[in-house]
Structure 1
Amino acid sequence: MPTSFGEDVRRVRQARGLTQKQLGNASGYSEGYVSKVEGGTVTPSESFAAGCDVAFGTGDLFVESLRRLLNVDHPDWFAPFVELEKQASEICDYSTNLVFGGAQTREYARALLRSGQPLDTPEQTTAKAELRMERGKLHEGPTPPLLWLVLDEACLRRKVGGKAVMHDQLRHLAAMAEYPAVTVQVLPFDSGAPPAESPFTLLGFPDAIGQPPVLYSEGQGIGRVIDSTERVTEGRNLFDRLRADALSPAQSLDLIQSVMGEHTP
């Protein structure tokens, strides 16, 4: 990890007349953590960078600096979807093999990132996983969007990261299913040929922002946000058929908990 970030933190901290302990208190971290960041012996978290920006009054300077250092900005083709997702009042997602990004655990995300981007440094993998965790926070706030997930049974059974990682991932999914604004359904193997072959996400928005619904579709290394009324309607019809073929939410939760037991380390 380059030390320039830590050096910048130290210089600005000293210019503001703050001790390491004061910066730690302001950012929610210990004095020892601040010392390690400034010395370049620990990779700072994005939440620490955000805490520095608050403590220093620097906007998002340190958050952006950290992202540039670690090269963890969302790809150009994915960034538009992430920004729209933050504004959405309804998120409907169909996943074929992997759990929806906004419902992934940290270790599940890390395992996927290590496999899909093997040339990244451990620091870059960690930072990208943390960036993905920010999407999950959308569903934990006071006014979360309605989230409806339809997951192919393969999402539950593919051992991403090993048994322990999968056990925790399914436990997290079962916990999310208990949220009032979240519905989780599983499309079982014995339901036959699925109405849709590829994963996709539908986003709906509050009337106040004037944004029409969109369909997000992703292939290998590329994704598109589509606002064509015809394509969005087709996507909605497909999602309705997927929901009809899937197990009920209660049956889905039973299956998730059953498969979670199979992944017990």
Structure 2
Amino acid sequence: MDETTPTERLNPLQRFGRDVKQVRLARGMTQKGLGRAAGYSEAYVSRVEAGLLRRPSEKFAKGCDFAFGTGELFTDMLRRIDEGDHPSWFVPYLELERKASRILDYSSDLVSGMLQTADYARTVFRLSNPHATAEAIDGKVASRLRRREVFEREDPPHLWVILHEACLHTVVGGAQVMSAQLAYLLTTAQSPYITLQVMPFSAGAPAAHMKPYILLHFTGEPSVLYTETRAGGSMHDSARTVEAAAHDYDLLRATALSPEQSLTLIRGLLKEHGV
């Protein structure tokens, strides 16, 4: 990054890096000193300041705040960068998703966002944002993949996903992208924190026409229902509404294929793709 580049021409990560460098120099710290304080190498700090990383870690941002004595300035700055790649109506959901102890997801037409590969997500975003730049699409893809970071916590949530079989037959991005997506589902299903079921076509009309939704459960707090349409997303915390959605999810789980049967079906689809 050229030091003479006007701020308005910098992307968000470059601005983050420039701000880190400016505060570091103002504090009289070297890159090595900042790296030591934040728990990272000098090379990592250099790459952050140059805006060369796809996204600095939250741990690094917290380390900067600790080293500089800036409260949560850089942590909040990084969070705003993340949120900038999502529509505003989705941000409140993301904040709750990070805190959830259990995530129950029913997807009826596309693979659940948290289980999408980069190429699958990129295709979805390109179709839904036809006028966006390649850089903007890359940012959205990166933000979607970062949602998986909750599984790196010491106490990761349990993700339960029910995919309608239509999700697996809808070709997104071509045969190669779909093959990689199906293979990724098989891989993620091996995680002790992820349970995957497929709702087969044979389950009939009620399951086929049920709209996608997500239930978030929290330790010691009321659960929340999240629904989405093309116009935006909505969260519902009415006890009656959440209870009804939880009842529907129990019915979906009972009607869907077992986890092992679901993986067998996915393996069969992979063979159809020649993998």
Q: TM-score, normalised by structure 2?
A: 0.78
Q: Conserved in 1, the CA contact under 8 Å of 2:48 and 2:56?
A: no
Q: Conserved in 2, the CA contact under 8 Å of 1:70 and 1:123?
A: no
2:204 corresponds to: 192
SS at match of 2:104: strand
Q: Conserved in 2, the CA contact under 8 Å of 1:50 and 1:62?
A: no
SS at match of 1:235: helix
1:204-236 deviations in Å (ceiling 9; x for gaps): 2212xxx21221111113111111122112212
Letter in 1 for 2:214: T
Q: Does 1:219 find its partner at 2:229?
A: yes
Counterpart of 2:60 (choices 32, 47, 51) is: 51
Q: Conserved in 2, the CA contact under 8 Å of 1:170 and 1:256?
A: yes
Counterpart of 2:131 (choices 109, 112, 119) is: 119
Measured at CA, do residues 24 and 104 of structure 1 come closer, stay the same or move farther in structure 2, by a change above 3 Å?
Answer: farther
> Which shifted more, 185-194 or 157-166?
157-166
1:180-224 deviations in Å (ceiling 9; x for gaps): 2321110112222133521011122212xxx21221111113111
Q: Does 1:249 find its partner at 2:259?
A: yes
Measured at CA, do residues 205 and 35 of structure 1 come closer, stay the same or move farther in structure 2, by a change above 3 Å?
Answer: closer
Alpha-carbon distance, 1:90 to partner: 1.7
Q: Conserved in 2, the CA contact under 8 Å of 1:28 and 1:48?
A: no
1:15 corresponds to: 26
1:8-87 matches, within 5 Å, as: 8-19=19-30, 31=43, 42=52, 44-47=53-56, 51=60, 54-55=63-64, 57=68, 58=70, 60-62=72-74, 64-65=76-77, 72-87=84-99
Measured at CA, do residues 22 and 49 of structure 1 come closer, stay the same or move farther in structure 2, by a change above 3 Å?
Answer: farther
Alpha-carbon distance, 1:113 to partner: 1.6
Q: TM-score, normalised by structure 1?
A: 0.81
Matched residues, number: 259
Structure 1 segments unaligned to the other structure (5+ residues): none
SS at match of 1:151: strand
> Structure 2: how far apart are the matches of 1:51 and 1:237?
42
Letter in 1 for 2:217: G
1:236 corresponds to: 246
Counterpart of 2:143 (choices 112, 131, 146) is: 131
Alpha-carbon distance, 1:106 to partner: 2.5
Measured at CA, do residues 215 and 6 of structure 1 come closer, stay the same or move farther in structure 2, by a change above 3 Å?
Answer: closer
Letter in 1 for 2:181: Q
Letter in 2 for 1:153: E
Alpha-carbon distance, 1:261 to partner: 3.2
> Which shifted more, 20-29 or 76-85?
20-29
Alpha-carbon distance, 1:38 to partner: 5.0
Alpha-carbon distance, 1:118 to partner: 2.6
Letter in 2 for 1:238: D
Alpha-carbon distance, 1:153 to partner: 1.0
Alpha-carbon distance, 1:248 to partner: 1.0
Letter in 1 for 2:238: S
